[in-house]
Amino acid sequence: MSAAIVCRDVTKSYLTGKTVTPALRGVNLEVSEGELFMLVGPSGCGKTTLISVIAGILNHDGGECRIFGRDPNEMSDEERTAYRGKTVGFVFQAYNLIPTLTTAENVSIPLLLNGIERAPALERAEEMLVKVGLKEKLRTLPSELSGGQQQRVAIARALAHNPRLIVCDEPTSALDHTTGGEIMEIFRHEALSGNRTLVIVTHDSRIFHFADRIAVMDDGQIVQVANSPAELSFGSNKEPSKHA
């Protein structure tokens, strides 16, 4: 199985005034194509920074981070914009659906940004919404949907343009246990098809068992990689602690 993501000694610091705050301190990571990979760890440990680097949203300061063979740092701004538009799908904790667009229109956005015409884009968007179980909500505004339904729309949007990589930031933390489970089922059954790679940042220990592998981050480094929740040093039913 070929590697989708290969990070070697990746470092990243933030400059706040005159203070340099290291967020990533030499991260080493390898994620295979078709893998559902979870990043867990306490708040402020660098999880979101790491997926921002992987998604081509942030530049890393040192090391290398190759996504399907290319390091976003080596791309021009235009190439990186295209990389995000074509290769990456995003799912956010706060769903981030545009409130004045219908569900189908929200899902069609990545397709439109990739130059697809409106009619086929909407057709594809509706197809995706049907797949995530929202057949009856094609023309609904986000404000008329429950949290779980909005997250389904967000997943449909992340999948619509058939990206090779999907990054998710706390996709279930705003949802109840049952809805969170349903969302993860959709990820397992829909998002992973076609050898797609998923990287999920989460605090939600209830969904750890959906992962193929789990990496625990602490203080800007990956301190443990487990093949199942049971292998995690802090256990599957607890919130990962800073000293995992």
Chain positions contacting another protein, by CB under 8 A: 34, 36, 48, 51-52, 55, 57-58, 67-70, 75-76, 78-87, 90, 92-94, 96, 98-101, 105, 108-118, 120-121, 124, 131, 159-162, 164, 169-170, 188-190, 192-196
* Selection from 192, 227, 186, 195 nearest residue 208 by Cα: 227
- Taking the least distance from each CB to another protein, the nearer of 54 and 216 is 54
CA distance 31 to 184: 19
Beta carbon of residue 233, minimum distance to another protein (angstroms, whole number): 26
Burial class (CB in 10 A: 0-12, 13-18, 19+), 178: exposed
User: Do 157 and 190 touch, CB atoms closer than 8 A?
Assistant: no
* Selection from 77, 27, 37 nearest residue 210 by Cα: 37
- Taking the least distance from each CB to another protein, the nearer of 82 and 223 is 82
Q: How far is CA 71 from CA 23, 35, 57, in A?
A: 19, 20, 12
- Taking the least distance from each CB to another protein, the nearer of 189 and 209 is 189
- Taking the least distance from each CB to another protein, the nearer of 63 and 110 is 110
Beta carbon of residue 100, minimum distance to another protein (angstroms, whole number): 2
Beta carbon of residue 145, minimum distance to another protein (angstroms, whole number): 16
